[in-house]
Amino acid sequence: MFYRPGQDEHGLPRNPFNALITPRPIAWVSTRAADGATNLAPFSFFNGAAYEPPIISIAFTGAKLGAHKGERKDTLANIRETKDFAVNIVPSALKDAMNATAGHFGIGESEFAAAGVTEAPCETITAPRVAESPACFECRLVRLVELPNEGPGENVTVFGRVLGVHISESILTDGFVDPTKFHPLARMGYLDYATITEVFAMNRPD
C-alpha cells in the first residue's frame, strides 16, 4: 500500500505513523517553572542529536484527540521559561509511574506525588530529577525549532545540551551500561510498549 499523508486516506483502523517508528525510547522529562512548581511527563519523540557536545532532541506535538486536544504542554512552557530540563530514563519497573504522569494535572498538582516517585536535585540545572530513575541527563536548551502544524496545538522540537549525566552503579556491568539490569521501556505504536530483556552485539564491517 502507499498513501500521501494529508492527501489520501490510509484506510487502516488507526494512523500507522508511530507504529512504524519503533521502538522509541522514552524521555521522562522533569522541569521546574519559574515560580518553582515542578512537572514530570513522558515524551517518546526523543533521541540523541549530537555526540560532541552531547545534545538531546525532544519533539512536542499538537494533541489532536481527547482531553489534551490543542492544549499547551507544561513541559514545553517550562523549557521556554527556564531553558532547563532533565531527561530521566524509564526502567520497565516504573512503567505505571511513567504512565500516570501523562495524565491531566492541574496547576499546583504534583506529578511526582501522583506517580509515587521522589524529586532529587540536579547538579547543573534548577529542574529536579527522578531519584528512582537509573539514569538522567541534565539539559540546557540550545535551540527550539517550530515545525509546520496542521492540527490543534503546536509542533515544536527542542534541542538540549547535556550538562550532566547521572548513572546508577546498579545498571553497570564491568563499566558498561547493561540494559538487562534495568529493562528500558520502549514506546511502540497504538497503546503498545516493549521492553529490552536481551541484547546481542555485531561487529562493524571495518
Ligand X SMILES: Cc1cc2nc3c(=O)[nH]c(=O)nc-3n(C[C@H](O)[C@H](O)[C@H](O)COP(=O)(O)O)c2cc1C
Q: Identify the residue among 32, 129, 166, 187 touching ligand X (CB under 6 A).
A: 187
Residue with smaller CB distance to ligand X, 98 or 136: 98
Is the CB of residue 196 less than 8 Å from the CB of residue 183? yes
Distances (CA, A) of 158 to 58, 59, 147, 191: 5, 6, 11, 25
CA 201 – CA 37 distance, rounded (Å): 43
Residue with smaller CB distance to ligand X, 166 or 187: 187
Query: What does the CA dihedral 129, 135, 138, 142 come to, rounded to 10 degrees?
Result: -130
Q: How many residues bind ligand X (CB under 6 A)?
A: 18
Residue with cell 511527563: 41
Residue with smaller CB distance to ligand X, 43 or 134: 43
Smallest distance from ligand X to CB 68, Å: 5
Residue with smaller CB distance to ligand X, 102 or 163: 102
3-class DSSP state for residue 19? helix
Smallest distance from ligand X to CB 13, Å: 20
Q: What part of residues 110-149 is at the interface with ligand X (CB under 6 A)?
A: none
Cell of 75: 513541559
Here the contacts of 171-174 (C-beta below 8 Å, separation 24 or greater) are 171/134, 171/135
Segment interacting with ligand X (CB under 6 A) among 11-19, 69-77, 113-121, 142-150: 69-77
Per DSSP, the residues of 64-122 read -SGGGTTPPPHHHHHHHHH-EEEEEE-BGGGHHHHHHTTS---TT--HHHHHT--EEE-
Residue with smaller CB distance to ligand X, 113 or 172: 113
Q: Identify the residue among 30, 32, 38, 75 touching ligand X (CB under 6 A).
A: 75
Segment interacting with ligand X (CB under 6 A) among 4-12, 72-80, 123-131, 166-174: 72-80
Q: What part of residues 1-60 is at the interface with ligand X (CB under 6 A)?
A: 26, 39, 41-45, 59-60
Q: Does the protein bind ligand X through residue 83 (CB under 6 A)?
A: no
Residue with smaller CB distance to ligand X, 59 or 178: 59
CA angle in degrees (0–180, nearest 5) for 143-144-146: 145
Which residues of the shown chain bind ligand X in the complex (CB under 6 A)?
26, 39, 41-45, 59-61, 63, 68, 73-75, 99, 102, 187
